[in-house]
Amino acid sequence: MSWVATIFGLAAALKGLRREGWVRRGVREPESVADHSYSLALLSMLLAAERGLDPFKTAAIAIVHDLAEAVTGDIPPSEKRSNMDYVEAEKEAMKRIAEKVPSGVGALILQLYNEYAFQSSEEARLVKQLDKLEMALQAIAYEREGRAAKGLAEEFTRSALQEIRDPGLRSLLRGEAELC
């Protein structure tokens, strides 16, 4: 199998992998990890451009940030933080993915993943905060669409606001949550 087919297979796995947090909360027809990554990449690219950051690097970080889940599966962020076995499994999965592609491609994947994991650039820090914003906006959308129980938007907005430090993003989220 070519490395391109290998990467396609990982992307296809993410398209079929439903976000576990939504599944556990009974959301009807929840998004996939790939859906989330696409939405995050688009938001990241455009907000980075608005802020004078590298939009393409930011989008690339967003695309790669959950790639390991094609191997490890998805668990909610709160469980990732408290589960060192999962954190190590995710790192190992990224190393294995990088080994299946040409060395330059693998180095790029690991560089983007590590930048996100270690929050070592402005772009990575923006993606991290937008990851939380995207999650809360998705909860708001699910509740508005009647695909989730009342209270989901409030729960996820509260959770996101604990993580988002950027005043503009906090204000944006509060405004959207008030419309719910």
pLDDT in tens, 79-117: 777 777 888 999 999 999 999 999 999 999 999 999 999
Spell out the domain ranges in the chain.
Answer: 3-178
The closest alpha carbon to 141, from 156, 124, 121, belongs to 156
pTM of the model: 0.94
User: What topology does CATH give the domain 3-178?
Assistant: Hypothetical protein af1432 (1.10.3210)
Largest CA distance in the chain: 50
Distance of CA 120 to the CA centre of its chain: 17
pLDDT tens track for 21-77: 999 999 999 999 999 999 999 999 999 999 999 999 999 999 999 999 999 999 887
Q: How far apart are CA 9 and CA 21, in angstroms?
A: 23
